[in-house]
Amino acid sequence: MRTETEHTIYLKDYAPSPYRISAVELDFTIEADGTRVRAQLNIEPREGTAPGTPLVLDGDELSLGSIAIDGAPLVLSAYAADANGLTLFEPPLRRFVLETEVTLRPEGNTKLMGLYRSSGTWCTQCEPEGFRRITYFLDRPDNLATYRVRMTAPVALAPVLLANGNLVDRGEAGEGRHFAVWDDPFPKPSYLFAMVAGDLGSIRDSFTTASGRKVDLAIYCSHGNEQRCLWAMDSLKRSMAWDERRFGREYDLDVFNIVAVSDFNFGAMENKGLNIFNDRLVFARPETATDADYDGIERVIAHEYFHNWTGNRVTCRDWFQLCLKEGLTVYRDQEFTSDERSRAVKRISDVTTLRRAQFPEDGGPLAHPARPDNYKEINNFYTTTVYEKGAEIVRMLATLLGRERFRKGLDLYFERHDGEATTIEAFLAAFADANGVNLDQFRTWYLQAGTPRLHVEDHYDAASQTYRLKLAQETPPTPGQPEKAPLVLPVKFGLIGPNGSPMGWSGVSGAEVRDDLIVLDTQSAELVFTGVSSRPVASLLREFSAPVIVESQASQEDRLFLARHDSDPFNRWQALQDVGMALAVAMVREETGDPAALAALSQAMQDTLASPALDNSFKALALTLPDEALIGRAIGRDIDPDRIHRVREQLVQAVFEPLAMPLLETYRALASDAPYAPDPASTGRRALRNRALGLLVASEAPGAAVLAAQQYAGAGNMTDRLAALAIAVGADTREAAGMLADFRTRFGGDPLVLDKWLAVTAGAPRDGVIADMQSILADPGFPRTNPNRLRSLVGTFAMSNPTQFTRADGAGFRFVTGFVAEVDAINPQVAARVLTGFRIWPMLEPSRREAARAALTALQAQGSLSRNTADILARTLAG
């Protein structure tokens, strides 16, 4: 196995392999105690390869059983093989077939990369570098090959045999065994290889493409869970239809299979024709899944399906280009959900995720560009920067070009690069060439880390009827990038007059302005609007048109004016957030809040709640004040999480205590006996009702805690039951402990529901939570090898419980580093991901900062960490 001492890999050093594997035949013989893999690789030298150039194939924990070229066994002096690779010293300088045989032990593969077993099912995960754990190979994304796979297994253990592509043969193999042969005619990189063998149930359906082809659809799962897959199937069919309508992309194989497994490091994997999913992103029924679960299933099913074109048919040349497939596909799944549900609510939700997860990453020790220029461990770059910021970059491109021109560029991209492994530069060139534009400066978004600040100043001159708007951009230094270049910022905007209506102007100068879009491509610009009849209030960055932090001296009055009158729903929500944030920061610094300002925000919240023009989902979001992590980030340095927690509690009480009656009326009015449905109207009703309950409990309204307990006991669906539980535990009500115990008794036999109990337990902002988690982990029945259970418990604690994770006594830090040290030997990816919770440590006040440093230094001193964890640890400490 490779170690963390290996050298850093640089983009500038990229070069194609001197050899190419064009076709692969794999033969898996599956037994209960091991799996034999015979590989036949059709290999040819690339043009210009010199005679005697060695062929170096990747391997990881492999043991070579046999090796031959064109059927002739190789002598020992012709090659060198070890667990980490296979080298042929002087392969033929012509096309040849390399045959190898290895034996795998999937049962003991706790890393969950390569071939492993999950609850008895054989399955694979090969992205990014898992295929080398199956056979020796050029395990890199720029080697595209066709695959033909034969699997033989005992019928009793594995009646279902699946792989990429189309099923071309199957039958009996004697002695209680059977076989299946799958052929994938589309060349793909090895990271998209997949196979599954097991005793599985399924649901089946079909989809007819725009050209009239019938595609057979199936979702495989553990027996008894078939009915929990219906929403996933519905989401798949809607995704396929949407991609045809919106982007003209039609599915290309005869079958599309999904398999749900319980042990999986990621959310899902887009393997060609055989998507493998974490079962939490497939299984749903009202009694055990929340609205958030239904939303996540719909979104991720769509995301993995959309990869068929943006990731599979066109893939990335090297792992530095990971954002090419992931950022583009996240943008596509965001657009799908926006079209299926509420565009405004989806945008607010996505930006909230961006600010909670990606902005801290971009502003901390783990900051990196959307396309990094070096890495030690590629698994550590499956980040919110690559995914969510990558999607924001694509969204800005779409904003700058407009929908029709964006589609024109994307069509050219597919036309040019179908069946290829390509780069960010080629992606941007397609849009530039299709539309006759220069995107050289725009490319900087992919190359530069950090979240830009957009500074705003304005002035109105009544005498000349002139409105001046000054915009200036600045990106703070990040690790390895002390100097920053100006970016292209698309700033969607509007001017609103005193009566709340849009305002026009007779002329504008100072920067490029296209209707409602300002294009800021310099360090600063002063726009001068003439013919403005009265002082406007500027609504800037509508729809959050660029991923920046706005720094403005706008008054509370102007912000509340926007909250009431802005035609852009995102900026109405943003205005309330800005007012709440300003009050929270002031209260942290000055002990008490301005009574008049608090009253004004309270009235604005009441107006929002009462507005008949706003939908329930939007109201639920609008009635949410900035959370503790966002407040801490706004303060920026020397933060005291305990103080922030107390201040936010005070702020919630001050703003919402006067709204107790309308909140209670809203809660009662939204009660419903209708059967559960995951449609937008129903989810919006539940969201607002549960928000009202949460605010009543948080503001200590009389009888609210009892109301939460009653909702928990009588809930007809998991959304309402879990909401009541989380509200009670978060407020540490008298009833909370009993509700937690009851929840575990009711649902402890369902692992995915148990994850919810683990997360609520770990997120409780009270003393004693660490002892509770230690007790859970010490339980012999706790599945310490399952990523879902570990992430739900310790991941939630490190990422979402700032008061207890950052305890002044350092106990939270030591608990997490102790967990990381133990789990790293089992599953390095889980350990490394949990460790990223420490990215906030440089912002903490001095005593907490030193406690965090001590815990991290002690972990580093152990000296036996995986490369995954050692890389995250070194970069975190360097910050």
Query: Residue 352: in which H helix or E strand, if any?
Result: helix 343-353
Closest CA to 609 of 671, 566, 659, 648: 659
Classify residue 167 by burial, with Cβ atoms within 10 Å: 0-12, 13-18, 19+: middle
Query: In whole angstroms, what is the distance from residue 449 CA to residue 371 CA?
Result: 9
Task: Decide if 721 contacts 286 (C-beta within 8 A).
Answer: no
Beta bridge partners of 481: 478
Contact 355, 627 (CB under 8 A): no
CA atoms within 13 A on the CB side of 142: 15
Beta bridge partners of 217: 205, 256
Chain centroid to CA 92: 44
* CA separation, residue 206 to residues 131, 228, 313 (Å): 31, 18, 22
Check residue 841 and report its DSSP letter.
G
**Residue 530: enclosing H or E segment and its boundaries?**
strand 524-530
The amino acid that residue 37 corresponds to is V
The CA distance from 453 to 549, in Å, is 5
Question: Which one is catalytic: 25, 127, 270, 304?
Answer: 304
**Residues composing the chain:** 879
SS3 125: strand
Residue 697 buriedness (CB in 10 A; 0-12 / 13-18 / 19+): buried
CB 791 within 8 A of CB 827: no
d(CA 277, CA 260): 5
Evaluate the CA torsion angle 618, 623, 624, 626 in order and state its sign: positive
Can you name the residues that pair with 25 across neighbouring β-strands? 40, 148
Q: Answer yes or no: are the C-beta atoms of 512 and 518 closer than 8 Å.
A: yes
Burial environment of residue 606 by CB neighbours within 10 A (0 to 12, 13 to 18, 19 or more): middle
Q: Which two three-digit tokens encode residue 83?
A: 């667990």
Half-sphere exposure of 135 (CA within 13 A, CB side): 23
d(CA 58, CA 81): 10
Active site residue 474: no
Which residue, 801, 826, 828, 825, is CA-closest to 815?
A: 801
How does DSSP classify residue 482? Answer: -
Phi-psi region of 200 (alpha: psi -120 to 50; beta: other; left: phi over 0): beta
Q: What is the largest CA-CA distance in the chain?
A: 96
Distance spanning both ends of the chain, measured CA to CA:
28
| Residues marked as catalytic | 304
